[in-house]
Structures are given as structure tokens and as C-alpha cells.
Amino acid sequence: MDAPLLSLAIWVPIAAGLAVLAAGGERHAKLQRSLALAGAALGFLVTLPLYLQFEIGNPGMQFIESAPWIERFNVNYHLGVDGISVLFVLLNSFITLLVVVAGWTAVETRLSQYFASFLVLSGLLSGVFSALDAVLFYVFFEATLIPMFIIIGVWGGPNRVYAALKFFLYTFAGSVLMLVALLYLYFASGSFAILDWHKLPIALGTQVLLFFGFLFAFAVKVPMWPVHTWLPDAHTEAPTGGSVVLAAILLKLGAYGFVRFTLPILPDASRDLAWLMIAASLIAVAYIGLVALAQTDMKKLIAYSSVSHMGFVTLGFFIFNAYGVEGALVQMISHGFVSAALFLCVGVMYDRTHSRMIADYGGVVNTMPRFAALMMLFAMANAGLPATSGFVGEFMVIMGAMKANFWLAFVAATTLVFGAAYTLWMYKRVIFGPVANARVAALADLNARETVVLGALAVAVLAMGVYPLPFTEVMHASVNDLLRHVALPKL
């Protein structure tokens, strides 16, 4: 009997979160921190066997667990991961661990609620990536809103209330339509099992309607242009840890939804409407790249950069070849590392000076050389420099786009210019030059805790850039299976 690894991945962090909450009160700060760290570490450890014991070359679901949950609606507690989703469960538990360490001293008020929110959120996110039942998926998908709403609203910046409400209502608006689509599929098939839906024949007109039902939910989450406007607000106002989880994991939910629902369940509509998705993706890549160039707030800049990078992901999915889809998945993981790292870098500076404005900095390299070196690496990765993880995904997607159409690849490749421009220009203004003011002159370099967090991400970024095979070989079989499936009409 194997251990129920996926259940552990979900419930260990949630249980840890509740334990932290139970140890509430301002007096037990030390205990709360230790409990949160132990919970996050344990949560990370239980996901490791998912990768180590993963059967490479098997396109199907692994680590399956299934138990009846709501018999009235034939809903099961059905979990499993394939090559596409397993990496996200790991990414999630890894990022959560970093966030807990990074948030060690960042928050003074309501510490137990802060850590509990992140731990519960982490468990719910693992649930989203491993749910194979649509209701279970939806429950996890929606439930993530509650902790994130609290995180942004309680520990966020000056405009946090607006940002939190906007985040919640945008996402909720998208997902309620998906709920109707899910119910429709339930009545068409008699079950909520996602894998059964992959085989369900659906008429084209219906497929198109369902496509839009799902599209709104996932497009808001990704976020795709033109429904991305909540993201810059949410990112800017969220505390550092919130921005990290938002960028690294929550944005992946939308993209994951496309591969788990839209493409395999509605292949014909996906092919028919690919032009729409590609157009929106290219606008995100090119136009939002330009928007990022104009930002004066570092967090906003990284937020727009996220929208632009996620445009690459949706582009990769809808050109329907192995390079594109695999490249998009690699890009998702890489973006998880890089955007997390960049937000943490901004967090490091913010903790010291309480400003996110580019104009308030300059010459940071003089006072924080170690930090400057690490941030250089992440900036390069964000720009897509070879030998960093950012390069692999972008290169694969551009290759895939080239196979589909030269002009697609041409527009997509502008990101290499814009991405480098906005990232490196920001880096130059913040890090280089003469020391800008007294606050910069007083900066202290990274402490041991921050070095460990950023160092871990640096290792991940470099490893993935130099030797991406451990990541791609896991997803290979599942991606090919998905593409075979999408190529077959199921009218």
C-alpha cells in the first residue's frame, strides 16, 4: 500500500496552517514561526516522492486516489497527477517553503493568520493541480480566493482594499461561468470525472459556448489581455509573499485549466478559435511588454512582465505542436522561479527602505553587492538569456511558432527585445550608477536568511537553464498524448 502522497500534499499544509492558527495570539510568535516552517518543510518533503517515484514515459495519471464524496451528484474525491501537473505540485510546495522563510520577519501583525493563510493556500493549490473531478477542482479553485483575498487585504499596501476586491470579483466573475459549463458537461456525460469528459463527443456549437465558459475563468486567472487589469493592482498591493505566490502559482491555474479542460475536452472549438487565443497572446506579449517599459513602480513592472510572459504560455498552447506546448509548460515553471525571485528581490529592498519606486533607488550595487549579483541573474533570466531557465521556454515556444507560421514567431520574438529592455533598464536604474540618496547609502546587504531563499531560486533557475531534461522528460509523454488527443475531432 503506497502512501496517499497527493492527499498528504494537500492536507499537510492545511493541517499545519490550522495548527499555526490555533497557536494564535501575539505572545507565541516564535512558536508560530517554527510551526509554519515545520509545516511548509514537511509539505515540501511529502511532494518530493511524487517526482522521485514518477514513472517517466507513462502518459496517464499516476498516484491515483479515489473515494466517493458526494454520491448524490456522483462526485468523487479523485486525485491524480500526470506529467503536466506533477511539476506544479512540486513548484507550489517549494515556493511555499520559500515564502514562509522569506516572511519570517516581514510581518509583525497577526503573524499566525499570515502564515496560516499561506499554508492553507498552498494545500488548496496542490488540490487544484491534482483534482481529477470537476467539482473537486472547482472547490479548490474557488477556495484559493479566500486566503489570497485576506493576504492582499490585510497585509497589503495603501490601496490594498481596492486591489483585494478587484482580485476577488474578477476571478469570481470568471469562475461562475465555468461552473455553468461544468454542470452542462455533467448532464451531457452523467459524471464529473474530467478524464471521462476527454472522451465525450460534443457538437461544435456547444463546444464553442463551453469554450467561452471556460475561457473567461482561465483567461482572468492567466491573466490574458484584455482581462489582465486586476493583476498589476493585486501584485503591487500584496505583501511580498502574496506577490510571490500570486505570480509563481496562482497565475498558473489559468494556464493549467487550458491544458486540463479546454484543449482535451473541446479540441474542435480550440482549433477553430485558436486565432483568437493567438491574437490575444501576441497582444499580451508585445503590447504589455511596451506597457512594462513605462512603469515607475518595480512591482508593477514585474506584474506587467508576468502578463507578457504568460502570453507566451497561451501562445504555446494554441499552436498545437509539441515544441509549443512543452515550451509553454517549461515557461510556466521557469516563470514560477523567476517572477518569485524578482518579487522577493523587490521585497528585500522594500523591507529596508519601504519604497518600490525605481526613482528612489540607484547605485544599490555599492551597498548590496551580493544582492546585486543575484538580482542580475534573475533579471537576465527574465530577459530570456541563454543558460537561464527563461531562455528554454521562450526558445521552444518561438520554435513551435516558427513551425506554425513565420509571422507568429516574428511577433513573439519581440519579447526578446522588450523583455530585455524593460528588465535590464530597470536593473540599470536601480542597481547601477552613483548612490542615489542617504537611504540607499544605508542599505545593508542580504542577511543569511535572504541569501538562502534567493540562492535556492538561483540554483533552480540555472539548473533549469543549463540542463532542462529532468523537467521536460517528465512532461514529454503526457504532452504527446494531449496533442494526439487534440488532433482528433470529437464532434
Partner 1 sequence: MSADAFFTTVRVLPEILLLAGACVVMIVDVYAKDERRRAAYAVAHATLLLAFLATLAVVYESGGVRYEVLNGLFVSDRMSHLLKLASYLAVSAALVYSRQYLLERGLLRGEFITLLLFALLGMMVLISAGSFLTLYLGLELMSLCLYAMVALDRDSPVATEAAMKYFVLGALSSGLLLYGMSMIYGATGTLDISEVAAAVAKLASSEVERSFLVFGLVFLVAGLAFKIGVVPFHMWIPDVYHGAPTPVTLVISSGPKIAAFAMAVRLLVNGTPALAADWQPMLVLLALLSMALGNIAAIAQSNLKRMLAYSAIAHMGFMLLGLLSGWSAGDGANAADAYSAALFYIIVYAVMSVGAFGVLLYLSRAGFECENLEDMRGLNRRSPWWAFVMLIIMFSLTGIPPTAGFYAKLAVLSAVVSAGHVWLAVAAVMFSLVGAFYYLRVVKLMYFDEPRETVAVDGPPGMRLLLSANGLALLAVGILPQPLMAVCFAAITGL
Restricting to residues 430-469, name those near partner 1 by CB under 8 A: none
The residue among 8 and 136 lying less far from partner 1, judged by its C-beta, is 136
Restricting to residues 339-398, name those near partner 1 by CB under 8 A: none
State the nearest-atom distance from the C-beta of 353 to partner 1, in Å. 25
C-alpha cell at 334: 521557469
State the nearest-atom distance from the C-beta of 231 to partner 1, in Å. 19
The residue among 51 and 184 lying less far from partner 1, judged by its C-beta, is 184
The mark string for 172-211 relative to partner 1 (x by CB under 8 A, - otherwise) is xx--xx-xx--xx-xx------------------------
The residue among 128 and 330 lying less far from partner 1, judged by its C-beta, is 128
41 binds partner 1 (CB under 8 A): no
* Max intra-chain CA distance, the chain: 68
Give the contacts of 28 (CB within 8 A, at least 6 positions apart): 112
Among 10, 40, 102, 164, binds partner 1 (CB under 8 A): 164
Restricting to residues 109-148, name those near partner 1 by CB under 8 A: 110, 113, 135, 138-139, 142-143, 145-146
* Residue 393 near residue 468 (C-beta atoms within 8 A): no
Of the candidates 49, 127, 125, 64, the one whose C-alpha atom is nearest the C-alpha of residue 92 is 125
C-alpha distance from residue 367 to each of 102, 112, 339, 362, 433 (Å): 21, 34, 24, 10, 12
Alpha-carbon distance 116 to 124, whole Å? 12
Tell me the three state secondary structure of residue 354.
Answer: coil
State the nearest-atom distance from the C-beta of 176 to partner 1, in Å. 4
SS3 content of the chain, % helix, strand, coil (to 5): 75, 5, 20
C-alpha cell at 64: 491515483
State the nearest-atom distance from the C-beta of 164 to partner 1, in Å. 7
The residue among 65 and 142 lying less far from partner 1, judged by its C-beta, is 142
C-alpha cell at 317: 498552447
State the nearest-atom distance from the C-beta of 323 to partner 1, in Å. 37
Among 168, 211, 350, 371, binds partner 1 (CB under 8 A): 168
The dihedral over CA atoms of 162, 233, 373, 105, expressed in degrees to the nearest 10, equals 20
State the nearest-atom distance from the C-beta of 448 to partner 1, in Å. 33
Provide the residue count of the chain. 491
The mark string for 47-86 relative to partner 1 (x by CB under 8 A, - otherwise) is ----------------------xxxxx-------------
Restricting to residues 6-25, name those near partner 1 by CB under 8 A: 24
Give the contacts of 307 (CB within 8 A, at least 6 positions apart): 223, 225, 228, 231, 284, 288
Binding site for partner 1 (CB under 8 A): 24, 69-73, 110, 113, 135, 138-139, 142-143, 145-146, 149-150, 153-154, 160-161, 164-165, 168-169, 172-173, 176-177, 179-180, 183-184, 186-187
